Amino acid sequence: MSTPAAEDTTDRMSAEAPTTLPSAAATSPPADAHILLDTVSVGYGETVIQHDLSFGVRRGDVFIIMGGSGSGKSTLMRSLSGLLAPQAGRILFDGESFWDAPLRERTRRMRRNGVMYQSGALWSSMTLEENVALPLEQYTDLRRSQIHDIAVYKLALVGLAAYCDYYPSEISGGMRKRVGVARAMALDPDILFFDEPSAGLDPLSARLLDDLILELRESLGTTMVVVTHDLASIFAIADDSVFLDAATQTMLTTGNPRDLREHCEIKLVRDFLSRGGE
């Protein structure tokens, strides 16, 4: 499979029913957040990459995970999208703790997440339509003709209706990114996760992808979690954000990036958002 395998399927399943966050544990994020992190640590094996992450993502927001290279953005996204069990803390979707839920519940929830990976991860031996159809074949009992119609529709949404029969090698990098978006949307997700959607794109293609993200948010109301350090993109699409620091291995702040650029009391964050020069 070209989609990255689940790196860590460590089963932290417990017998407990899904729980809700006690109000005492809620910090600034609203208790009704679509996604809520409660003192979460993420990493690999014994190695902690980020710890004490507590923040909320509001429903329908474009939420940016930002921070320097190697700070743990992709790692956090793997834990949010259900691929990597956190080392500590809880991740709640609509108030239900994902990693404490039984496997069946987790699988159901994961089907409602659309993920576009940093590497793109399209199947080179499949046409664009077949790539987009794959999650529908894996996760639904729809008939072949229905799957065809949905795959064509999703490709049309990203402006690629005329390219259904092309192979990934026959289209540009920007178009491949859009196929990744179409595939992530195949199952009408509740939450879309994008890891570096504009990396490697020219500024115009990156802007078109930003426009697409905003259009999808407007038309479908999907919550979007986007990993990026592309400043133009951050200011164009973000409602809210979290800043991960590699040195202290924890979050430094959350908030709207424009507000943070002007008013954040942490110089590193202001510098990051103004490319080092205020």
- Sequence-ordered list of residues with C-beta below 8 angstroms from that of 217, at least 6 positions apart, any chain: 60, 62, 224
Rounded to a whole number of angstroms, the minimum distance from the CB of residue 141 to ligand ATP is 33
Q: Identify the CA nearest to 63 among candidates 259, 252, 241, 273.
A: 241
DSSP-derived secondary structure for 31-56: TT-SEEEEEEEEEETTEEEEEEEEEE
The residue with its CB nearest to Mg ion is 74
**Residue 23 vs 69, nearer CB to ligand ATP:** 69
Q: Which does 70 bind (CB under 5 to 8 A by kind): Mg ion, ligand ATP, none?
A: ligand ATP
- Sequence-ordered list of residues with C-beta below 8 angstroms from that of 270, at least 6 positions apart, any chain: 260, 261, 264, 278
Amino acid occupying residue 235: F
**Residue 56 vs 72, nearer CB to ligand ATP:** 72
User: Does residue 10 contact residue 78 with C-beta atoms inside 8 Å?
Assistant: no
Rounded to a whole number of angstroms, the minimum distance from the CB of residue 70 to ligand ATP is 5
Rg of the chain in Å (alpha carbons): 19
Which residues contact ligand ATP by CB under 6 A?
A: 7, 44, 49, 67, 69-75
**Residue 118 vs 140, nearer CB to Mg ion:** 118
What is the widest separation between alpha-carbon atoms in the chain? 56
* Of the residues 2, 39, 41, 74, which one makes contact with Mg ion according to CB under 5 A: 74
Rounded to a whole number of angstroms, the minimum distance from the CB of residue 227 to ligand ATP is 6
List the x/- string, 17-56, binding to Mg ion by CB under 5 A: ----------------------------------------
**Residue 49 vs 147, nearer CB to Mg ion:** 49
